[in-house]
Structure 1
């Protein structure tokens, strides 16, 4: 096969982004340019590498077999560039992805603990939605990702082979309200009462359900504010402008003006925090990361 380096990068980016449009935006190409690059790679590989599906594209079995080779080649090219520029690191490196609120508590504390035990490890991080992070670890852009799973905890995606998944923690969900507001002196609330609240939610995506509103509300929530950043959400809650759903393990980083309430009726809402990586023997650096995350979560 005679595949260019730019062709391999496009292959990995399309596998990670899931659409030609998102890949074009990430790489600074036009969508037609991405289509031509993919066609050139498929011609060189003598097979179709992507299938079109509603909302984007997915790898064919042949594409899934080629992708790990492309990732290794690109990693070696990137390492060579770092060596030539004098920025190559001497210790093991981990590229870690994390879901958005993991950056508020879990991951920073785990990295601090890991740094004390393994100062030789170099860790870089990237935030993203759980589906996007799963695609990135499959594409080889990330070595491991910290994502959430909701009951009944099905596989993280429909691709094959399954990713290796390690449970980090089980967390319950609670409702964050203003301490000075009408619910501020309560310990708990019902779902019917929550229907009257103004909700602060994350931006809606086709690949993820609405994040921030209570998952089992008996009706459509009244969405008042849309924000991804946790500091923005907590400031809106503190000001009495709405309520939002948070994991119980966020309690010790909440502002003084925010209280957490249990929801007394309906199903118990919980999430599982997991670390996902490609299968095979676990790298010692990744194993140390898992230990640090579990120790922090515990």
Structure 2
């Protein structure tokens, strides 16, 4: 069996594994069993004559040969999808941009940017989806996203892996603490880290190399996690209900619900967060450049 004999199904499965990070996640996304995904990956590796994936405790990672196969597979699959659309009489998708964003970016920034884009470039279509920063990085490299908004915390290292991504810092803002409006801390506009001791926290479960989200990073005690929620709005409504406190990016202050006060933290290191726009290191299409410009404008508004 030579690589020319690889099936299209095998290439699609391989790309899904590269994007999702695990065989299990790829199987769920494709509606396959995990054993079927494993067989397809094995067939692609046999055709390539070398190992394409490394299985690690935190999921699968592409070998150098796997990165080469992925780049070629993305090109082939995109061309096949374009051919299928043309045969079906559908638009060629040239004006469509695939955008990924981390959870809190979808609350204010993305809607503002898309509203402005509809006014300035109504012919551009944006298809977007939410994901964790690690999953968005994988999707960019797998060719299923054109642009992604990523969150970065100090020391602001670029995402691991290859190829390296083109990264643009759109904004850098501080982290805040959200407390119930009726809480004693809400009487002030700022608190010390010591004031946060012993409070119940509302946090997100960490994923991959992400730290626990929702707990003040400089807290010098083991945090009591009262509730876990991935969705930022659910966290803030739990805060409004008096169920605990959580962290919130400064960019979301204008969108917090009633019953929540957002406070700065005075002492300790300043907890900064960067908003990054990422894409593969090649020239963006005109529609993608229009989307990127709209995101930059919304980030500084």
TM-score of the two chains, using structure 2 as the length reference: 0.94
Distance of aligned partners of 1:206 and 1:247 in 2 relative to their CA distance in 1, 3 Å threshold: same
Counterparts of 2:107 and 2:81, CA distance in 1: 30
Decide whether the 8 Å contact of 1:79 with 1:88 is kept in 2.
no
Residue 91 of structure 1: how far off its partner (Å): 5.2
1:282 aligns with 2:284: yes
1:104 aligns with 2:91: no
Aligned Cα RMSD in Å?
1.5
Decide whether the 8 Å contact of 2:153 with 2:273 is kept in 1.
yes
* DSSP 3-state at the match of 2:184: coil
The aligned residue for residue 226 of structure 2 is 224
2:122 pairs with 112, 119, 123, which one?
119
Decide whether the 8 Å contact of 2:82 with 2:92 is kept in 1.
no
The aligned residue for residue 36 of structure 2 is 33
* DSSP 3-state at the match of 2:185: coil
Counterparts of 2:131 and 2:154, CA distance in 1: 21
Residues matched between the structures, number: 297
Counterparts of 1:166 and 1:136, CA distance in 2: 18
In the alignment, structure 2 segments of 5+ residues that lack a partner are: none
1:43 pairs with 42, 46, 60, which one?
46
Distance of aligned partners of 1:28 and 1:156 in 2 relative to their CA distance in 1, 3 Å threshold: same
Decide whether the 8 Å contact of 1:147 with 1:274 is kept in 2.
yes
Counterparts of 1:242 and 1:84, CA distance in 2: 55
**Residue pairs, 1:56-67, within 5 angstroms:** 56-67=59-70
1:184 pairs with 183, 186, 194, which one?
186
Q: Can you list the C-alpha shifts for 1:155-178, whole angstroms capped at 9, x where unaligned?
A: 112x12311111111111000111
The aligned residue for residue 21 of structure 1 is 24
Residue 214 of structure 1: how far off its partner (Å): 0.6
Counterparts of 1:186 and 1:241, CA distance in 2: 20
Counterparts of 1:69 and 1:93, CA distance in 2: 21
Counterparts of 1:90 and 1:40, CA distance in 2: 31
Instruction: Compare 29-38 and 127-136 and name the one that shifted more.
Output: 29-38
1:145 pairs with 144, 148, 155, which one?
148
Counterparts of 1:249 and 1:51, CA distance in 2: 38
Counterparts of 2:247 and 2:165, CA distance in 1: 28
Decide whether the 8 Å contact of 2:95 with 2:124 is kept in 1.
yes
Counterparts of 1:206 and 1:68, CA distance in 2: 24
Counterparts of 2:90 and 2:223, CA distance in 1: 50
Decide whether the 8 Å contact of 2:134 with 2:208 is kept in 1.
no
Task: Extract structure 1 runs of 4+ deviating beyond 4 A.
Answer: none
Q: Can you list the C-alpha shifts for 1:237-287, whole angstroms capped at 9, x where unaligned?
A: 111111110111111111132111011111000111001111122322222
TM-score of the two chains, using structure 1 as the length reference: 0.95
Decide whether the 8 Å contact of 2:200 with 2:224 is kept in 1.
yes
The aligned residue for residue 258 of structure 2 is 256
Decide whether the 8 Å contact of 1:227 with 1:233 is kept in 2.
yes
Counterparts of 1:83 and 1:176, CA distance in 2: 50
Instruction: Compare 244-253 and 46-55 and name the one that shifted more.
Output: 46-55
Counterparts of 1:202 and 1:241, CA distance in 2: 15
1:267 aligns with 2:287: no
Instruction: Compare 198-207 and 105-114 and name the one that shifted more.
Output: 198-207
